[in-house]
Amino acid sequence: MNAIIDRKLGLTPLGNRFRLIRSASIALAEPLSPEDQVVQSMPDASPMKWHLAHTTWFFEEFVLQHALPGYRFHDDQFRFLFNSYYNSVGPMHSRPHRGLLSRPTVRQVMDYREHINERMSDLLERQELPAALRATVILGLNHEQQHQELLLTDIKHLFSCNPLLPAYTRAGMAPRRTAVPLAFRRFEGGLLEIGHDADGFSFDNETPRHRTYTGEFSLANRAVTNGEYLQFIRAGGYEEPGHWLSDGWATVQREGWKRPIYWTPELDQEFTLTGLRELNPASPACHLSYYEADAFARWAGARLPSEVEWELAADDAAIRGNFVENRRWHPEAPPPEEGLLQMFGDVWEWTQSAYAPYPGFRAAAGALGEYNGKFMVNQLVLRGGSCATPISHIRATYRNFFHPAARWQFTGVRLARDV
List C-alpha distances in Å: 286 to 282, 308, 408.
12, 22, 9
Mean per-residue pLDDT, 77-82: 97
Mean per-residue pLDDT, 262-267: 98
Is 50 exceeded by the pLDDT of residue 262? yes
Q: Which stretch of DSSP H or E encloses residue 21? A: helix 14-29
Q: Which stretch of DSSP H or E encloses residue 353? A: strand 348-354
Mean per-residue pLDDT, 132-147: 97
Mean per-residue pLDDT, 86-104: 95
pLDDT at residue number 126? 78
Tens digit of each residue's pLDDT (9 = 90 or more) over 367-412: 898 888 899 999 999 999 999 999 999 999 999 999 999 999 999 9
For residues 84 and 107, what is the distance between their CA atoms, to the nearest angstrom? 21
Tens digit of each residue's pLDDT (9 = 90 or more) over 160-188: 999 999 999 987 667 788 999 999 999 99
pLDDT at residue number 2? 40
Tens digit of each residue's pLDDT (9 = 90 or more) over 271-318: 999 999 999 999 999 999 999 999 999 999 999 999 999 999 999 889
pLDDT at residue number 409? 98
CA angle 321, 324, 327 (to 5 degrees): 95
pLDDT at residue number 201? 95
For residues 340 and 191, what is the distance between their CA atoms, to the nearest angstrom? 22
Is 60 exceeded by the pLDDT of residue 216? yes
208 prior amide bond cis, ω within 30: yes
